[in-house]
Structure 1
Amino acid sequence: MERVELLTGVLAKTGDLIEGVEAGQLGLPTPCEEYDVETLVNHLVGWLLLFEARCNGRPYDADPASHRSGPDPAAEFRAAAAGLVAGWAKYGFEREVAVTGGSKLPGEMVFNMTVMEFLTHGWDLAKATGQPIPFTEEEAAETLARAEVTLPPQYRGEGMSFGHIVPVDENAPAVDRLVAFLGRHPAR
C-alpha cells in the first residue's frame, strides 16, 4: 500500500470516529487506561497538530498532551490531517523530521509512528464508544508491519509507552494483531 494512501485512509477513518463521539460518551473509559474518551480525543488532535507542524518543517511549541479541543474536534483533526498528508506528499520521506525536542528522526520512522498512533488510538476510540472498527485489513496489516520494524522492546512494560505484546492467534484479523502487538487486548 502506498504511504500517502495509507495515511489518508487511517486519518480519514480516525476523523470519522472522532465525529461519531456523542457528548454523553466523553467520560467513558478507553482501552488506553490513562485516557477517558474526551482525553483521548484531545490527545489525538494535539498529537496530530504536532506531527503536522513538524512534517512541514514548522516549530510546534505547545505540549500536545495539554491540548484541549474546541467545539468541533473532528474539524480540527481533519484540518491538521490534510496538512500532514500534504506535507508528506510535498517533502517526501527521505529526510529527517523533528518530533519532540530538538532531535530528528528518519522520516520513515516518523511516518511509521504516525500511522501506528492514529490507527491504534482510533481503535481505542471505536471500542470505547461502540463504533465499528473502520480500518481495512490492508491498512492494519501495513501498519503492523511498520510497527514491527519501528517499536523496540525497551519501550514496552510498566511505566513505558507500550505494554507487553498480548498473545493472539496468528490468523486473527490484522487490526487485532496490531493492537495486541502494541499491548492491548483485542477482545476487551
Structure 2
Amino acid sequence: MERVELLTGVLSKTGDLIEGVGVDQLGLPTPCDDYDVETLINHIVGWLLLFEAGCHGRTHDGDATAHRCGPDPAAEFRAAAASLVAGWEKYGFDREVAVTGDNRLPAESVFNMTVMEYLTHGWDLARATAQPIPFTDQEATETLIRAEATLPPQYRGENMPFGEIVPTGQDASAVDRLVAFLGRDPEASPRG
C-alpha cells in the first residue's frame, strides 16, 4: 500500500468517526485512561494540526495538548487532514520534519507516528462511542509494520506514552494486533 493511500484512508475513516459522535457521547470514557470522548477529539485534532504544520515546514503556533475544537470538530479535522496529505504529496519523504519545537525527525518516522496515532485513536473513539471499527486489515497490517519499526521499548510502561504489549490470540484481527502492540486490550471495555 502506498504511503499517501494509507494515510488518506486512515484519516478519512477517523474523520468519519469524529463526525459520528453525538453530543450526548462527549462525556463517555475511552480506552485512554485520561480522556473522555471530548478530550480525545480535542487531542486528535490538536496533534493533527501539529503534524500538518511540521509536514509543511512550519511551526505549530498553538499547544497541541491544550487544543479545544470549535463547533464542528469533524470539519476542523478534515481540513487539517487534507492539508497534511497535500504536504506529504508536495514535499515527499526525503527530509526531516519538525514535530515539536526544534525536535526534527526523519520524515518516515513522523509519517509512521501519524498513521499510528490516527488509526489507534480512531479505534479508541469507535470503541468509546460504539461505532463500527472502520479500518481495513491492510491498513492495520501496514500500520503495525510501521509501529514495530518506529516504537522503541523505552516509550512503554507506567507514565510513558504507550503501555506494554498486550498478548493476542493467533486468530486476532490485524486491527486488534495493532492496538495490542500499542498497549491496548482489544477485548476491554473503555477504561476497562
**Length-normalised TM-score, structure 1:** 0.99
Aligned match of 2:165? 165
Distance in structure 1 (CA, Å) of the matches to 2:143 and 2:45: 20
Displacement, 1:101?
1.9
Distance in structure 2 (CA, Å) of the matches to 1:67 and 1:2: 31
Aligned match of 1:100? 100
Superposed, 1:9-158 pairs within 5 Å as 9-158=9-158
Aligned match of 2:180? 180
Distance in structure 2 (CA, Å) of the matches to 1:85 and 1:137: 21
Conserved 8 A contact 1:18-1:73: yes
Conserved 8 A contact 1:166-1:181: yes
Count of equivalent residues: 188
Listed as ranges, the gaps of 5+ residues in structure 2 are none
Letter in 2 for 1:12: S
Q: What's the CA shift string for 1:102-144, capped at 9, x where partnerless?
A: 0210000000000000000000000000000000000000000
Distance in structure 1 (CA, Å) of the matches to 2:90 and 2:34: 35
Displacement, 1:59?
1.4
User: Which SS does the other structure have where 1:99 is aligned?
Assistant: strand
User: Which SS does the other structure have where 1:30 is aligned?
Assistant: coil
Letter in 2 for 1:147: A
Conserved 8 A contact 1:170-1:177: no
Distance in structure 2 (CA, Å) of the matches to 1:122 and 1:141: 15
Conserved 8 A contact 2:59-2:101: no
Letter in 2 for 1:5: E
Q: What's the CA shift string for 1:160-180, capped at 9, x where partnerless?
A: 000000000133111000000
User: Which SS does the other structure have where 1:97 is aligned?
Assistant: strand
Identity of matched residues, %: 77
Distance in structure 2 (CA, Å) of the matches to 1:146 and 1:11: 16
Conserved 8 A contact 1:19-1:73: yes
**Length-normalised TM-score, structure 2:** 0.97
Q: Which moved more, 1:161-170 or 1:128-137?
A: 161-170
Distance in structure 2 (CA, Å) of the matches to 1:26 and 1:103: 33
Distance in structure 2 (CA, Å) of the matches to 1:105 and 1:158: 25
User: Which SS does the other structure have where 2:102 is aligned?
Assistant: coil
Listed as ranges, the gaps of 5+ residues in structure 1 are none
Q: Which moved more, 1:111-120 or 1:96-105?
A: 96-105
